[in-house]
Copies of this chain bind each other. A is one copy, B any other.
């Protein structure tokens, strides 16, 4: 079963942040699933869009949770908070948005 809450983060790194630094951050981001039991799944990728609507964002991260309560526990978890203090200074811009996906209009 897929997660019923999706947590999407779009990121654009600051100029000067190195490829190695970005790779380390992605590794640490993925590693949160090993420390925060509420994480159902974690996926990420770089932009491959062709519509010129990415607004400069280059990285996409999608974490899923079973419930909104699990999402909230993740947000408040010390390891997530600590990771945020590592990630945020490297970002030129960021969007974080959550939704409960429905196939029905």
A26 surroundings in chain B (CB, below 8 A)? 105
Contact with B along A61-102 (1 / 0, CB 8 A): 010000010011001000000000000000000111111111
Contacts of A36 in B (CB 8 A): none
Residues from 3 to 52 in A contacting B, C-beta threshold 8 Å = 5-10, 23, 26-27, 29-31, 41-51
Residue numbers in B under 8 Å from A44 (CB-CB): 99, 101-102, 105
Q: Judge whether A49 and B103 touch: CB under 8 Å.
A: no
Partner of A99 from B45, B94, B98 at Cβ < 8 Å: B45
Q: Which residue of B lies closest to A57 (CB)?
A: B97
CA distance A2 to B9 in the complex (A): 20
Q: Hey, which bits of chain A sit against chain B, CB under 8 A?
A: 2, 5-10, 23, 26-27, 29-31, 41-51, 53-55, 57, 60, 62, 68, 71-72, 75, 94-105
Closest 10 CB pairs of A and B: A45-B99, A53-B96, A43-B101, A49-B98, A27-B105, A30-B105, A60-B99, A26-B105, A54-B97, A51-B96
